[in-house]
């Protein structure tokens, strides 16, 4: 790592790259921020455990992610210190201002705000999030807040098994209530649970992410608890009920006064059939049902996709009429987490196996998943994102979308001249512009990630940040990469008012 490359050199490189990119990228070839609607917002993101540090300070208690990391399952790394944003938030907000960010997506650590998962608030945690939100707003940066990102308080996991129990619904709703009450005068965009599909598959089928539950023969890690056959379905079911319960409460108690919006996010690939055979084309349809329809169809129609119910049978829980009505229409917007395309192939043999799990029920192989554990760079294929935005438009009712994560993975310490990240961002933002011109209802784009941070699967080995954080430096100094400079130049091109007005969507019932 050469963090001291002169800024002159960077400026020179940036110019070269900007000159050359136009001809290399797909999507809108030459564009500026002014080609986007005036109220389309651009930001960058992080989440609590990945950047805050201060894991054992000021009353915070461990989450299931702390437990996972301390068991050595995140490449041996932990978030005990991470980027120390807990202490450095003012400087980080200044860095956001310098970059020209219009919005910042972060998450609240439930176990920092409510150390036992339920009960009294931790005043120091409350103070921290109040400070962060105020610092953002006084600098003209719009906060987008996630409530749960793989970090359930360990106390609730220990008490009743966390998301596998229905008890979680009430505790999550009460936690959301506390956040709406304390911060909702200033926060207008809420994401209840981040990517429940990845949390359920990774955490309860494969055991690869917190809370590391799985059962043989399915786990990729040795789990001590779990049931891969049933729990992934149960967990998404409880998440949908907890989400919709929090939204119902928001609409009744806070919406008329606070005028905010509450959504949920979902992870997706761009889907590519491995071959043009009918089997693989049908496998794509099934994989989309299982990954995306699983979360979005209940929100749209009040029930799971038929293909899932057929294959999972009684293992996928049924909604009662009352629950179905509560879930349907319970998202004001969808947060989209998108990185790459994935080849899908048919796998009917999996249905003949005696023991089944989510993967076998899907009867399709998703080839990209095997590469999630590497620091390999993603292909620059913005058409994958365009395809996803098109299917959200055509299949899922064209909901308002915030692209909450999108970015390029590299090894952490390669170089500040992250040319492939610049190319990736330029191409994908261009793809979003093309999708908008074709009728997508996308409202904002958040580059993942603002800083190089603790990644879920491989700790500090891979990185997505616009800023490099020098972990060998006790001050954890941040250094802009070429991508930060590119993004900044793009953002600062905005000609209309720099004051970002909140976006209004038509309200769902």
Ligand X SMILES: *[C@@H]1O[C@H](CO)[C@@H](O)[C@H](O)[C@H]1NC(C)=O
Residues making contact with ligand X (CB under 6 A): 1, 215, 221-222, 227, 229-230, 272, 274, 343, 367, 386, 390, 394, 413, 438-439
Burial of 472 by CB count in 10 Å (0-12 exposed, 13-18 middle, 19+ buried)? exposed
Return the active site residues. 195, 405
Helix 482-491 and helix 419-437, axial crossing angle in degrees, nearest 10: 30
Pick between residue 116 and residue 350 the one whose CB is nearest to ligand X. 350
Rounded CA separation 44/191 (Å) = 15
Pick between residue 328 and residue 478 the one whose CB is nearest to ligand X. 478
State the minimum distance, in angstroms, from the CB of residue 1 to ligand X: 5
Helix 7-24 and helix 419-437, axial crossing angle in degrees, nearest 10: 40
Pick between residue 31 and residue 89 the one whose CB is nearest to ligand X. 31
CB contact at 8 A, 92 and 139: no
Rounded CA separation 151/18 (Å) = 39
Residues listed for the chain = 509
State the minimum distance, in angstroms, from the CB of residue 389 to ligand X: 8
State the minimum distance, in angstroms, from the CB of residue 207 to ligand X: 9
Pick between residue 222 and residue 497 the one whose CB is nearest to ligand X. 222
Looking at residue 290, what DSSP letter applies? I
H and E: helices and strands count for the chain: 20, 13
State the minimum distance, in angstroms, from the CB of residue 439 to ligand X: 6
State the minimum distance, in angstroms, from the CB of residue 169 to ligand X: 20
Six token digits for residue 160 = 């009743």
Q: Is beta strand 334-346 parallel, antiparallel or unpaired with respect to 261-273? A: parallel
Looking at residue 162, what DSSP letter applies? G
Pick between residue 215 and residue 244 the one whose CB is nearest to ligand X. 215
State the minimum distance, in angstroms, from the CB of residue 484 to ligand X: 19
Burial of 331 by CB count in 10 Å (0-12 exposed, 13-18 middle, 19+ buried)? buried
Pick between residue 229 and residue 326 the one whose CB is nearest to ligand X. 229
Rounded CA separation 364/341 (Å) = 15
């Amino acid at each position: 790592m050469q963090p001291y490359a002169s800024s002159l050199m960077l400026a020179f490189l940036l110019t070269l790259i900007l000159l050359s990119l136009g001809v290399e990228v797909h999507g809108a070839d030459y564009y500026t921020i002014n080609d986007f609607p005036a109220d389309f917002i651009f930001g960058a993101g992080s989440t609590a455990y990945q950047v805050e540090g201060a894991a054992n300070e000021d009353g915070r208690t461990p989450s299931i992610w702390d437990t996972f990391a301390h068991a050595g399952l995140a490449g041996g790394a932990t978030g005990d210190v991470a980027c120390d944003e807990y202490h450095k938030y003012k400087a980080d907000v200044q860095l956001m201002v310098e970059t020209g960010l219009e919005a910042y997506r972060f998450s609240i650590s439930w176990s920092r705000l409510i150390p036992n998962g339920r009960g009294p608030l931790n005043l120091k945690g409350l103070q921290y999030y109040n400070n962060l939100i105020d610092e953002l707003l006084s600098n003209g940066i719009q906060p987008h807040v996630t409530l749960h990102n793989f970090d359930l308080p360990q106390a609730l996991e220990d008490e009743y098994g966390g998301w596998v129990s229905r008890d979680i619904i009430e505790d999550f709703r009460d936690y959301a209530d506390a956040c709406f009450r304390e911060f909702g005068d200033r926060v207008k965009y809420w994401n209840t649970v981040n990517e429940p599909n990845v949390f359920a598959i990774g955490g309860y089928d494969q055991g690869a992410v917190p809370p590391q539950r799985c059962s043989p023969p399915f786990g990729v890690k040795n789990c001590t608890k779990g049931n891969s056959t049933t729990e992934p379905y149960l967990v998404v079911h409880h998440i949908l009920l907890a989400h919709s319960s929090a939204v119902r409460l928001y609409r009744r108690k806070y919406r008329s006064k606070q005028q905010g919006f509450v959504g949920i996010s979902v992870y997706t690939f761009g889907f590519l059939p491995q071959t043009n055979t009918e089997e693989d084309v049908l496998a794509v349809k099934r994989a989309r049902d299982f990954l995306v329809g699983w979360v979005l169809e209940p929100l749209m129609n009040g029930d799971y996709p038929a293909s899932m119910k057929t294959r999972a049978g009684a293992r996928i829980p049924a909604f009662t009429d009352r629950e179905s009505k509560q879930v349907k229409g319970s998202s004001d917007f969808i947060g989209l987490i998108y990185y790459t395309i994935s080849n899908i192939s048919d796998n009917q043999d999996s249905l003949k196996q005696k023991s089944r799990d989510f993967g076998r029920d899907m009867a399709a192989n998703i080839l990209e998943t095997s590469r999630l554990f590497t620091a390999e760079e993603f292909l620059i294929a913005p058409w994958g994102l365009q395809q996803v935005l098109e299917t959200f438009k055509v299949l899922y009712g064209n909901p308002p979308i915030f692209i909450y994560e999108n970015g390029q993975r590299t090894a952490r310490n390669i170089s500040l001249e992250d040319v492939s990240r610049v190319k990736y961002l330029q191409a994908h933002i261009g793809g979003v512009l093309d999708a908008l011109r074709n009728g997508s209802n996308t409202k904002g784009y958040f580059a993942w990630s603002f800083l190089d941070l603790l990644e879920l699967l491989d700790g500090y080995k891979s990185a997505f940040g616009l800023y490099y954080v020098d972990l060998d430096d006790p001050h954890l100094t941040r250094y802009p990469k070429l991508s930060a400079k590119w993004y900044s130049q793009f953002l600062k091109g905005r000609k209309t008012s720099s004051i970002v007005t909140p976006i209004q969507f038509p309200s769902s019932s």
